[in-house]
Amino acid sequence: MYKRSGLHGYPRGKPLCKSISERYPDTGQIIAMIYFDNSATTRVFDEAASVAVSYMREGYFNPSAAYSPAVSVEREVNLARGRLASFFRADPSELIFTSGGTESNNIALSGTLAQRRDKCRIITTAVEHPSVYEPVNALKSSGYDVVIVDVDELGRVDASALEAALTDNTGFVSIMHVNNEVGAINDINALYTLVKSRAPGAVFHSDGVQAFLKLPAVRCDMYSFSGHKLHAPKGVGGLFVKRGVKFAGGQMGGGQENNLRSGTTNVPSIMALDTAAGLYMKHHGEYMAAMRDVKLRLYNNLTRINDVVLNGPSPEEGASYILNMSFLGVRGEVLLNSLSEKGLLVSTGSACAARHRGKNRILTAMGIKDARQDGAIRFSFSPENTVDEADKAAQMIEDSLSVLRRFRRR
């Protein structure tokens, strides 16, 4: 192995987020870590982690097996399915467990198209997550009529543009509930009504990965969600498919999940998701208020700094747990590195895009370009964040900016 000495005092090769603040043995220094990247992923709730462990060590049986311990595990999974389905006021049979948001979004599309013979029209928006945007675009080359609908300058889908795009042969419409980069909220109920009135044959899907359990349930034919945005482990999520919607399912094999998504049931993660979701439902008001307070506090602190611009909807209008701001005169990536050195972890956009350089598709679609796009930072919160952290974070940002802004390109 390499010698793992620090890059600017940060020990390398060891997990950073063991606890919110940690004393590093090599330096003795306490680095308080502030994690404001909860739209990328969240820290698993203690309770959820213990439940997962208990289903790994005790209730580890394959629920498809015939003996009695397996049957009781199957029962537990189905009870969990019922509790999650209740959020949609749905029947448990309308909820399929998957490996997460990407799989749910992928099979929503492919499983719908598999039931149609025609090369129908497919509509989505310019700001969708790559797990919707890429598969939809890939269908262009196989002859599907793909229409990408624009968004307004706040990142919400343009309803009139959507209306104009709807045709009789529209087979699939996918519109995200909450945008992952700027927190814009689409009025899915109204859009659903619109789509059903203009294109009754279309299946309406919504990517709810950033909204599930945080915002009220909405009307739609399909809805995707993911566990790890809600303090459950990575690798588990689900797809709600309304009864009567023609859906061919996803991966094939042993016939699990009502023969719609085969694969050994991921019991520990499903049960942890159930636990985390239970906590979210129980403490919903409290959690939402906590995140809103942190967001508003950070927003107010940051607006006091020069040349800082808000991207997306106003703090009250947008999702109360996502804040996107541009710091003019610095590159977001540089600011991010500098903040990470101080212990504040944020992102420049979707983590799914951190490895690709070039333009930010979402901000571009919103008409945000040049210096404002370059300097964009996304802050995303969890109920574990505090107002005190928002104050500290703002101070760190101010400190970093005062250094970085001295070195603009000449």
Partner 1 sequence: MERVILVRYTEIHLKGLNRPFFEQKLIENIRHALKGIPSRVEREQGRIYIVGIPESDFEEAIERLKAVFGIHSISPAYAVDKDWETVTKTAFELMEKQVEKKPDLSFKVFARRSDKHYFMNSDGINRELGHLVLERFPSVHVDIHKPEVSLCVEIREKAYIYAEEIPCAKGMPVGSSGRATLLISGGIDSPVAGYFMAKRGIVLSAVHFYSYPYTSERARDKVVELTRLLSRFAGRIRLHLVPFTDIQMKIHEECPSKETTVIMRRLMMKIAQRLAEGEGAKALITGEALGQVASQTLESLCTTDDAVTMPVLRPLIGFDKDDIMDWARKIGTYETSILPFEDCCTVFVPKHPVTKPEVADIRASEALVDFTELIENAIENTEVLTVKYEDPKLI
Strand, helix or coil for residue 157: strand
Q: Is 5 exposed, middle or buried (0-12, 13-18, 19+ CB in 10 A)?
A: exposed
For 21, counting Cβ atoms within 10 Å of its Cβ (0-12 exposed, 13-18 middle, 19+ buried), the class is exposed
Residue from the set 2, 19, 244, 304 that interacts with partner 1 by CB under 8 A = 2
User: Which 304-333 residues touch partner 1, going by CB under 8 A?
Assistant: 331, 333
Q: Is 352 a catalytic residue?
A: yes
Q: Which CB, 9 or 253, lies closer to partner 1?
A: 9
Binding partner 1 by CB under 8 A: which of 8, 18, 89, 243?
Answer: 8
Residue length, the chain? Answer: 410
CA distances from 285 to 39, 226, 322 (A): 19, 21, 17
By beta-carbon proximity to partner 1, the closer residue of 350 and 382 is: 350
381-410: contacts with partner 1 (CB under 8 A): 404, 406-410
Task: Give 293 or 341: the residue with its C-beta nearer to partner 1.
Answer: 341
Which among 107-115, 179-187, 338-346, 389-397 is the span making contact with partner 1, rule CB under 8 A? Answer: 338-346
CB of 355 to partner 1, least distance (A): 7
Residues 346-375, one symbol each (x = binds partner 1 by CB under 8 A, - = not), give ---------xxxx-----------------
Our CB check for partner 1 shows the closer of 246 and 408 to be 408
CB of residue 331 vs partner 1: minimum separation in angstroms?
6
Q: Which is nearer to partner 1, 315 or 349 (CB)?
A: 349
Binding to partner 1 (CB under 8 A): which residues in 213-252? Answer: none
The full DSSP string for 220-287 is -SEEEEEGGGTTS-TT-EEEEE-TT-----SS-SS-HHHHTS-S---HHHHHHHHHHHHHHHHTHHHH
Binding to partner 1 by residue 117, rule CB under 8 A? no
CB-based burial label for 67 (10 Å; 0-12, 13-18, 19+): exposed
Beta-ladder partners of 51: none
Distance (Å, whole) CA 165 – CA 170: 9
**Cα separation, 393 vs 164, whole angstroms:** 44
Q: Dihedral angle at the C-alpha atoms of 275, 223, 378, 313, nearest 10 degrees?
A: -120
Per CB under 8 A, the segment of 46-54, 68-76, 288-296, 337-345 that binds partner 1 is 337-345
Query: CB under 8 A: which stretch of 38-46, 85-93, 272-280, 336-344 binds partner 1?
Result: 336-344
User: How far apart are alpha carbons 124 and 157 in whole angstroms?
Assistant: 9
Please give the structure tokens belonging to residue 239.
């797809």
341 in contact with partner 1 (CB under 8 A): yes
Closest CA to 39 of 274, 210, 292, 269: 210
Catalytic residue among 17, 120, 220, 352: 352
Nearer to partner 1, 18 or 406 (CB): 406
Residues that bind partner 1 (rule: CB under 8 A) add up to a total of: 25
C-alpha to C-alpha distance for 41 and 351, rounded to whole angstroms: 9
Q: Is 27 in the site for partner 1 (CB under 8 A)?
A: no
Q: Which CB, 338 or 373, lies closer to partner 1?
A: 338
Interface with partner 1 (CB under 8 A): 1-3, 5, 7-8, 331, 333-338, 340-341, 355-358, 404, 406-410
Q: Could you give the residue numbers annotated as active site?
A: 352
